[in-house]
Structure 1
Amino acid sequence: MATSYKKTLIESFPTLRENATPDNEYWNRLEPPITRKDHGAVSCINFSPTQPHQYAVTCSTKVQIFSPNTNQPVKNFTRFKDVAYCGTFRDDGQLLVAGGEEGQIRLFDVTTKSMLRVFKAHTSAVRLSKFTTDKLRVISGSDDRTLKLWDVAAENVVHTFEDHQDYIRCGATSKASHDMVLAGCYDHQAYMYDVRQQKRVLSVDHGGPIEDVLIFPSGGIFFTAGGLSIKAWDALSGGKLLATFGQHHKTITSLSFCSNYQRLASGSLDRHVKIYDTATYKPVHSLDFPSAILSVAVSPDDSLVTAGMVDGLLSIQKRGGQKKTLQEKKAEKKRAKASYHYKIHQSYTPNQEDHVIEHKRREHLEKYDKYFKKFEYSKALDAALDMRISMQHPEVAISVINELIRREGLMISLAGREPKSVKGILRFIQKHIRNAKYSPTLLDLADAILELYADRVGQWPELDQVLLSVKATVDNEADHMQQLMEVLGTMDTLFASSQASIS
């Protein structure tokens, strides 16, 4: 009785993949981004706390309100004479306040788009404007180094705080108290004010210019962001530093809560948004964007992730449904291919008196295995190097070459080839020689080709040209390896000196 043919073992090379954590699966459900281009930088994005969670995008000399369903602008506020900043909703979503380069704060009715108030007291650009949680007052921070508290109804200044020594670029109001206000400044200081006492009650030093601040709804913990770090502070302990974290390599520009305050998102000029666990302050996911990020915001229900960039791009990503695993997709594809009769007989259960004859399926062999079975090594190599296979699955070609080496048939498979055929093999070597997983096998293949066709060098112009290309690729890779070894040596020296200084 004939035994079945032993198929060529296709080597599986390990690949670096993202860990399949619940956070990665959750954030990977985001659909491909929708991008919009405007004339100026997108400096602020703010979601309305009320359904359907419209979002205000501040860009150039206007503030636009976008629909979360269509992701298209539904309202435009253009009553600004210069660049607008910090368009922010009130907690009920009915009013919107925005500062500007001209030093004025404008108050708008979101429904009618009418301008209700204009607050005039600052002498420089206003980069911070937010409602207090009692909905009756507005705070504003300016490049004139002052923080002002406004009465909306009376349209006048209640108090001016002049503690900061540089530009005030960010602030937050506490949801736990109507009277607690936090302001971050370029003088490295974040001050918390009690507007009832009209004085500063807490101060912390971030260690660098502060770009954004956030307060937990409980009011006990707040965050400051600036430079390469985010710092968590305990307000109830008098400003005790809880943690310093951050995974960016350029300035962090924006912070946003997400996942019901269980996660914190940070945007940076390095074109990344990092998401952290607010319990451990460890990064759990990362999102990439095409340009440096100035503002990032996540909708209260996590259905939208938005990012505004310095070149006027607005990226909008909507959360999709549950993605199917690879096994589920394969199972669906198999079920779709199954015939009607197959589905019927698949569910048939034979009786005890039935005589069951097992149906032996015909063994399926790949093309290269069929040639291996006939000892036609040249055709087996050609089948593995076929463009349809080698482009998507180079590991198949590598496994076939290793099988030829094991059978001592590599030289046989390469001998007697035309210039075009040799050129194709050399192109494959050139494309994959840099991959450390394939390079040992490809080096043996290249040695065999040079040994067989050394006397043809200078006679086949096509062969000469490809050999020069392969040589240039190998030389380039060798230079990179040399540079990496030099860097590794420098790092070893630094580590050794640091250990010596510590001891």
Structure 2
Amino acid sequence: MAAPFKKTSAKYLEPRVDVKTTPDTIYWKNLDIPVTKKEYGAITDIDFCPISPHYFAVTNSTRVQVYSPTSLQIHKTISRFKEVAYSGSFRSDGKLLVAGGDEGSVRLFDVDSKSLLRLFKGHIGAVHVTKFLADKVRIFSGSDDNSVSLWDIPSEKEVLSYREHQDYVRCGLASSSCSDLILTGSYDNTVKLYDTRMNESVMTFQHGHQVESVLMFPNGGICLSAGGNVIKVWDILQGGRLLTTLCHHHKTVTSLSFCNNFTRILSGSVDRHIKIFDISTFKVVHTLDMSGTILSAAVSPDDDLLVVGMAEGLLSIQKRKAPREPKIKMKPTYRYNPAGKTYHPQKSDFVVLHKRKEQLARYDKYFKKFEFTKALDAAMKNGVCLRSPEITVRVLQELMKKGAIKAALACRSDLSVGYIIQFIKRNISKPSFQPILLDVANLLLDLYAEQVGQSPVMDCQLTELRDTVEQEVNYMTELSEVMGMLDTVFAAAAMKTNSTSSESVPLIAPSAGAQAANI
């Protein structure tokens, strides 16, 4: 009787790190696949309307585009700018929108009709900051002329001007709890808090880097500043005391935003990462990776949308998945609940188990028929070699054991050989795969040596494989040098430890007689 066929078992030789699943991880992984749109220029600002349905304004190039949160398409386009526009921001009622620009003026628009209502002139540099105050009748602006100006909407006049910053004013916000507090950040490494009832700033924070973004809690007691690769948290109520410094980004932090009903802080950076912090501990609870250099990021007030703007002109929109409806349990029927299903056998009963037919993978089916070429082709499919490369390597190892690897690799087209070489190049750096893939690569060179130089596809793949192997050899050489240096350091440390211990302990203990004589 022939022995039963054994399935090909994949050996997971790579170490697997257990990832702890936290509520924040589940919450942020519930976002849908991002919808990416290409805009006309770098996306410098994103602002959500506080009023439902929470339209969001995207400022880029010479326009401010208002997107719909339901269709994720452009709802309105405001293009009354001759040069680059900045800081398109909604008023708290969502009816008006203000924006600055390279022209040095501040423009006020009606969102519904897109008409220009007011034009505030007075800055001599580009205006990068424009926000509404909580009283809805005043606007403040920050400019590259180092000034911060306060404007009255009905009279269209400048009410107040602060000129305390020594460099460009590139970020700012107005307090939501007090209609007279303004927080601004500048490239002179400082953050200033202004009270519009006074003619000078009431507090100054030394950030230490060029300030790219600022954030203030709704109660106005704590504020944050971002610049360089650090985020600093300041206590306003205690005279601007530094509470903590967050250094979790590798490059400049460009954006700060609240999310999860002000229980989480979101930061975006040039290093293409978004970090989410817990405000109670200021620890990172989740990280998101983006495809470009992040300049702006915001979350909708209902936490349904995450919108990220990038320097390459890409706009990433991620919507939260709708909760699944619970499945309705059907009443059991005779077909799905046959009689005797809940019967428990007794000790005297003879139980005959029904063994289901074992399902074989496609490559195992070909192995069973001794069709080794087709088995290798099935293991080289994208669904297998990309998601589970250990299965493809295991199939190659089985072909070697059966002595059929040469027959499986021979008589292939240039494109098929190129796929195999590409798989080797992609996985040869993994230590557990190297012995098998090196043998397969050498066998391919022996079988197709005559075609080298005649097939452009094969030549390109072989060149890339050679570069990958050379790079891996260089890494191993550098690693060996580093290990040699570490061995020298460890040996010197061990010698120093031994010498210290030998000096502290006497070599020969005095005898009992000698001790008695001394006494």
The interval holding the TM-score normalised by the smaller chain is 0.7 to 0.9
Map of 1:180 onto structure 2: 181
Higher alpha-carbon deviation: 228-237 or 385-394 = 385-394
Is residue 2:477 matched to residue 1:482?
yes
Higher alpha-carbon deviation: 112-121 or 8-17 = 8-17
- Given candidates 435, 440, 461, the residue that maps to 2:450 is 461
Code of the aligned partner of 1:64: Q
TM-score (ref. length: structure 2): 0.77
The 5-angstrom pairing of residues 60-79 of structure 1 reads: 60-79=61-80
Distance in 2, matches of 1:156 and 1:416, equals 85
Distance in 1, matches of 2:4 and 2:206, equals 75
Q: Is the 1:229–1:244 Cα contact (8 Å) retained in structure 2?
A: yes
The 5-angstrom pairing of residues 364-443 of structure 1 reads: 364=358, 366=360, 379=370, 385-388=376-379, 392=384, 393-396=388-391, 398-399=393-394, 410=401, 412=403, 419-420=410-411, 427=421, 432-442=427-437
Distance in 2, matches of 1:486 and 1:397, equals 34
Map of 2:264 onto structure 1: 263
Q: 1:492 to 1:208 in 2, by over 3 A?
A: farther
Map of 1:250 onto structure 2: 251
Map of 1:58 onto structure 2: 59
Map of 1:312 onto structure 2: 313
- Given candidates 334, 347, 358, the residue that maps to 2:352 is 358
Cα offsets for 1:241-280 (capped at 9, x unmatched): 1111133222221111111111111222223322222222
- Given candidates 321, 338, 343, the residue that maps to 1:345 is 338
Report the CA distance between 1:156 and its aligned residue.
Answer: 1.8
Report the CA distance between 1:343 and its aligned residue.
Answer: 2.9
Which residues of structure 2 form unaligned runs of 5+?
492-519
Cα offsets for 1:400-445 (capped at 9, x unmatched): 67779xxxx9375568888448x979857666432222224556x5
Q: Is the 1:457–1:463 Cα contact (8 Å) retained in structure 2?
A: no
Code of the aligned partner of 1:482: T
Q: Is the 2:410–2:447 Cα contact (8 Å) retained in structure 1?
A: no
Report the CA distance between 1:323 and its aligned residue.
Answer: 8.1
Report the CA distance between 1:108 and its aligned residue.
Answer: 1.9
Q: Is the 1:48–1:93 Cα contact (8 Å) retained in structure 2?
A: yes
Code of the aligned partner of 2:170: R
Report the CA distance between 1:24 and its aligned residue.
Answer: 2.0
Higher alpha-carbon deviation: 88-97 or 481-490 = 481-490
Q: 1:473 to 1:355 in 2, by over 3 A?
A: same
Distance in 1, matches of 2:141 and 2:210, equals 18
Report the CA distance between 1:84 and its aligned residue.
Answer: 1.6
Cα offsets for 1:147-186 (capped at 9, x unmatched): 1122222222222111111111111111222211111011
Secondary structure in 1 matching 2:306: strand
Report the CA distance between 1:66 and its aligned residue.
Answer: 1.6
Q: Sequence identity, in percent?
A: 43
Q: 1:362 to 1:116 in 2, by over 3 A?
A: closer
Is residue 2:266 matched to residue 1:272?
no
Q: 1:121 to 1:7 in 2, by over 3 A?
A: closer
Q: CA RMSD in A?
A: 4.3
Q: 1:489 to 1:201 in 2, by over 3 A?
A: farther
Q: Is the 2:376–2:395 Cα contact (8 Å) retained in structure 1?
A: no
The 5-angstrom pairing of residues 97-116 of structure 1 reads: 97-116=98-117
TM-score (ref. length: structure 1): 0.79
Distance in 1, matches of 2:490 and 2:122, equals 55
Q: 1:495 to 1:233 in 2, by over 3 A?
A: farther
Distance in 1, matches of 2:136 and 2:224, equals 23
Which residues of structure 1 form unaligned runs of 5+?
497-503
The 5-angstrom pairing of residues 183-194 of structure 1 reads: 183-194=184-195
Distance in 2, matches of 1:184 and 1:33, equals 31
Distance in 1, matches of 2:82 and 2:246, equals 39
Distance in 2, matches of 1:262 and 1:244, equals 18
Q: Is the 2:380–2:420 Cα contact (8 Å) retained in structure 1?
A: no
Distance in 2, matches of 1:190 and 1:87, equals 21
Distance in 2, matches of 1:483 and 1:158, equals 64
Q: Is the 1:384–1:397 Cα contact (8 Å) retained in structure 2?
A: no
Secondary structure in 2 matching 1:71: coil
Q: 1:472 to 1:284 in 2, by over 3 A?
A: same
Report the CA distance between 1:311 and its aligned residue.
Answer: 2.8
Map of 1:289 onto structure 2: 290
